[in-house]
Structure 1
Amino acid sequence: MKDLNIPGTQSTPAITADPARGLLTMRGDSYPENSFELFGPVIEWVESYLLGASAPLNLELELLYMNTSSIKSMMDIFDVLESAHGKGRQVGVTWFYDMRNERVGELAEEFKEDCTFPFSVIGRQ
C-alpha cells in the first residue's frame, strides 16, 4: 500500500495518507477548479486500502471551506466508507472545525446524520 501525499494550495487541502497507521488526513480550504482531479486519487486510495488491508481506516478532517463539488466528492468518500462499514470494516471520521465557523460545523453534522459508522464532530476554539 502506497502513501498518498498531496500538498495543499490556497484552494486545495493538504491530503496525506499513512497506511501504516490507517490514517487519512485533509486540512485546509477545498475549492479546486476540478474536484475530480483532486479527489479521484483519494477515493482510489481509500478503495485500495479497504481492499488490501484489514486494519481500521480513520479519516481526520480539518476543512475550513468547501465548495459544492468538494462536498460531492466528500460524499463519495463517505459512501465508500459506509459500504465498507456495512461489510464489517472498522472505519471512522473525526472532523475538527473552528467553533467561530458555524457553517463548517453544521456541514459536518449534516454529513454525520447520513453515516452509520463512527463520526465525531469536534469544535475547537
Structure 2
Amino acid sequence: MDRIQIPATARSPEVDFDFGAGRFRLSGESYPEDAAAFFGPLLQSLRSYLALSGPEPIVFEVALVYFNSSSAKGLMNLFMPLEAAAGEGRGVTIRWLYAEGDETIAEAGEDFASDFSHARFDLVETSQAGN
C-alpha cells in the first residue's frame, strides 16, 4: 500500500500512515468541517492494510493538541479495528502523546485507553506537544 502523507491545515491534523513500516501518526489540531470525509478514507485504508498485511507489529501515534467531538468519533473508529487486530494476537501499540500540563488531552487519552483490553495504550507526557 502507498504511504499516506497529508500536511496539516488550520483545521485538520498532519497524517503519516507508513504502511510498510507499520507506523501511523496523527498530529496537530483536528476539527475538520466534515470529519467523516476526513477520517473515512483513513479508516478504509487502515482496514485494507489490516486485512492484507502480515502479523507485523503496529504503532499508532496520536499527538493532537486539540480535537473536537467529531474527531473523537473518527479516532475511535480508527482505534476499533486496531483493538480487533490486537484481540487476534497482533502486536498493537497506541501512543497517546500530550504536552506536559495539558490535562484535557491527557484525560481524553485516559478515556480512550479505558476502551481497550487487547491493544497496548501508552499515555506519553512530552515536554512539547507533537513530539
Extract structure 1 runs of 4+ deviating beyond 2 A: none
What root-mean-square deviation, in Å, do the aligned CA atoms of Structure 1 and Structure 2 show?
1.0
Match of 1:118 in 2: 120
Could you tell me which amino acid in structure 2 is paired with residue 70 of structure 1? Answer: S
Q: CA deviation at 1:100?
A: 2.4
Match of 1:12 in 2: 12
Q: CA deviation at 1:25?
A: 0.5
> Deviations along 1:65-102, whole A, 9 cap, x unmatched?
11010001111111111111112222110011102211
Aligned length in residues: 125
Unpaired segments of 5 or more residues in structure 1? none
How high is the TM-score relative to the length of structure 1?
Answer: 0.95
Q: CA deviation at 1:7?
A: 1.4
Q: CA deviation at 1:19?
A: 1.5
Distance in structure 1 (CA, Å) of the matches to 2:23 and 2:12: 19
Distance in structure 1 (CA, Å) of the matches to 2:81 and 2:50: 9
> Deviations along 1:27-72, whole A, 9 cap, x unmatched?
1000011001111111112111111111222101100111010001
Distance in structure 2 (CA, Å) of the matches to 1:124 and 1:21: 23
Unpaired segments of 5 or more residues in structure 2? none
Instruction: Name the % identity.
Output: 34
Match of 1:95 in 2: 96
How high is the TM-score relative to the length of structure 2?
Answer: 0.91
Match of 2:83 in 1: 82
Distance in structure 1 (CA, Å) of the matches to 2:20 and 2:96: 21
